[in-house]
Structure 1
Amino acid sequence: MPFSHYVNTTNRLLAALPAKERERLLAQCEPVELRFADIINKPGEFVLHVYFPINSSISLVTPLEGSTSLEVGLIGNEGMLGIPLTLGVDESPFLALVQSAGLALRMNGAAFLHELKRSAALQRELNRYLYVLISQIAQTAACSRFHVVEARLARWLLMTQDRAHSDSFHVTHVFLAYMLGVRRVGVTKAASSLQRQKLISYHRGDVTILDRNGLEAAACPCYRAEKETYERFLGYNRAIHHQNDLAHS
C-alpha cells in the first residue's frame, strides 16, 4: 500500500483536507518513529517542526515547581503538534513528550507555514482543531480540580486507548503519576481498584483494557464530553470532505 494512502486513512486532520492539498502537504512530510517518553519540545523552545501522529500520541504537560507536573492536553491522530505556529508564535508553551510510541509525520515548520498561507482548507481545519484542543485543556483543568484519581485514571486510559488504536499499551506508574499530577501511591491505589473490578489488567507497565464499557462507566463525565466535542467539530467535518473527494475522483 502506498505510504500516502496509509497516512490518509489514519490521520484525521490530514484526511479532512481536499485530495490535492493533502497530497501537496504529504510530499513535504517525513515518517518518524516516536519513542515512549521522548521529549519533542520544552517550554520556551522554538517550534522547528510540526508532527501529525499516526498511531502514536503526544502529551502536553505543564511543569510546576520542583518535580510536579500536570498533563493538560493529548494529541493523537485527530490532530497536530505545533499549533502555536498557526497563531504566529514560534515558541512551545508546553512540555511535549511521547505518551504512546508509534509513527508520526514530521514537517519543517517553515514549509508548514508556507502551506498554511496557500491553503484555506488547512486554515479552516486547524482553526476547528484549535477550538477542540482549547476545549480539551479547559476540560482537563476542571477535571483535575474536581474529580477523584480513579475516575481521572479511567478517563486517561480511555483517551490513550483511543489514540493507540489498541486494547494494550505500555505505561508505568511513575509516568501516570507525572501525567495526572498526583503521588505514585494514588495511581497505584486507583489502578488496583480498576483491576479488582476487572476493567483492566496491569503488569509491569503493560496495560490491557478488559472491559471498555465498564471503564467508561468508571470514568468521570469529562471523557464523554471531550469525545462528543471531537466528533462534533472534527468527525463530521472529516466525513463531508471524504464525500467531496469521492465525488471529484
Structure 2
Amino acid sequence: MTLNLNTAHRNNLSPQSSGNRLLSSLPEEDQGHMQALCELVEVEVGEALFEPGQPIDFVYFPIDALISQLAVADGRMTLEVGAVGREGMIGTSVALGHTLAQVRAVVQRSGQCLRMSAADFCNEFAHLESLQHLLHRYTNTLLAQAIQIAVCSRFHVLEARLARSLLITRDRLQSEKFHMTHEFLAHALGVRRVGVTKAASALQQQKLISYSRGNIEILDAAGLEAVSCRCYELVKDSGSIGMGSVFT
C-alpha cells in the first residue's frame, strides 16, 4: 500500500457539512456519530489506497478527491469499473464481510477524504439501521454500474467510451476542467496509449474537448454526450442506475 498522507487529524465538521454526499444523507444524529469516528486526510494523485488481495484497514469518504477503482488482471492489465467522488465511499465491501480488497483504488484527483477504520465502520454498520439501508442502495448501484461499464468495454467503440468516461469524471468533480494523463486513461479504459491519443484527438477535432498535457476542458458537454455511448445516459446521476437513486 503506497498511501502517503500529508495531513491526518480528527475532523470537527458539524453534521450536514461533511462535504460527502453519502454521509450527509444520514440522519443528523447518525451522521454526527459517524463523523466523530473519522479523521480528515489529504490524498495525492497516483496514490493507491488499496491493492487487490490486501487487507482493507480503512474506508474513505471523498470530499473533493476522486478515486478510481481498477479491476486488475495478471497483475498489470487494468480496467476502471468505477470512479468515486464526494457522492460515495471507498471500501464498502468490508460491511459485507470482505476484508481483502477486490480492486485497486487509485487517487485520480488529489484532495481531502474523511477516513474511518474498517473495524469502526463495520461496527457502525451492524448497529445503524439508516447506514444499512443507505449502503444496500449504494452497493447495489455500484454493482449495476460496474456491470454496465464491463458491457460498454466489450461492445462500444473507444471514442464513445472515452466520451462517457470524461462525462462521468466531470459529474463526479462538478467541473468542466480536470487533469487526466493519456497513461491513466489507457489504464482506466483497458487500452494502449496510442488508442487514447487517437480517440482524444478525434474529440478535440470536433471541438468537444480541449486536451493539452493532461489538462482537459469539456467545451461542448451536449456534443460530448451525443457522441458518447448510451451507457452515460444510464449511469449519470439522474439515470436509471445513477447515484441519484441512492439518495431519494
- Partners of 1:232 and 1:175 lie apart in 2 by 27
8 Å contact kept, 2:66–2:109: yes
Q: What's the offset of the Cα at 1:67?
A: 3.2
Pair 1:104-2:113 in alignment: yes
- Residue correspondence of structure 1 range 39-54 to structure 2 within 5 A: 39-54=48-63
2:37 maps to 1:3: no
1:23 is aligned with what amino acid? G
Q: How does 1:71-86 map to 2 (within 5 A)?
A: 71-86=80-95
Partners of 2:129 and 2:27 in 1: CA distance: 10
Tell me the TM-score normalized by structure 1: 0.90
Distance in 1 (CA, whole Å) between partners of 2:54 and 2:14 is 30
Whether the 8 Å CA contact 1:60–1:95 is kept in 2: the answer is yes
Of Structure 1 and Structure 2, the greater helix share is in: 1
- The sequence identity of aligned pairs, in percent, is 47
* Structure 2 CA distance for aligned equivalents of residues 98 and 21 of structure 1: 28
Who is 1:213 aligned against? 222
What is the distance in 1 between the residues matched to 2:43 and 2:135?
22
Kindly provide the CA deviation profile for residues 119-160 of structure 1, in whole angstroms up to 9, marking residues without a partner as x. 000010000000000001100100000001110000100111
Match of 1:68 among 53, 64, 77: 77
Residues 1:22 and 2:34 aligned together: no
Equivalent residue for 1:192, pick from 191, 195, 201:
201
Runs of 4+ in 1 over 4 A off after TM superposition: none
Write the distance in 2 (CA, Å) between the matches of 1:164 and 1:124: 26
What is the root-mean-square deviation in Å for CA atoms of aligned residues? 1.5
Tell me how far apart the structure 1 counterparts of residues 31 and 39 of structure 2 sit (CA, whole Å): 14
CA contact (8 A) 1:129 1:234 kept: yes
What's the TM-score, normalizing by structure 2?
Answer: 0.90
How far, CA to CA, are the matches of 1:5 and 1:165 in structure 2?
Answer: 22
By relative contact order (CA 8 Å, sep 6+), the higher-ranking structure is 1
- Of residues 202-211 and 225-234 in structure 1, the stretch that sits farther from structure 2 once superposed is 225-234
Decide which of 154, 157, 174 is 1:148's aligned counterpart: 157
Question: Alignment length, in residue pairs?
Answer: 234
Q: Residues 232 and 202 from structure 1, CA distance in 2 versus in 1: closer, same or farther, beyond 3 angstroms? A: closer
Q: Counterpart of 1:234?
A: 246
After superposition, residues 90-169 of structure 1 pair within 5 angstroms as 90-169=99-178
CA contact (8 A) 1:32 1:105 kept: yes
Structure 1 unaligned regions, length at least 5: 237-249
Q: Quote the offset at 1:231 in angstroms.
A: 4.6
- Distance of 1:219 and 1:54 partners within structure 2: 27
Q: Which runs of 5 or more structure 2 residues have no equivalent in the other structure? A: 1-11
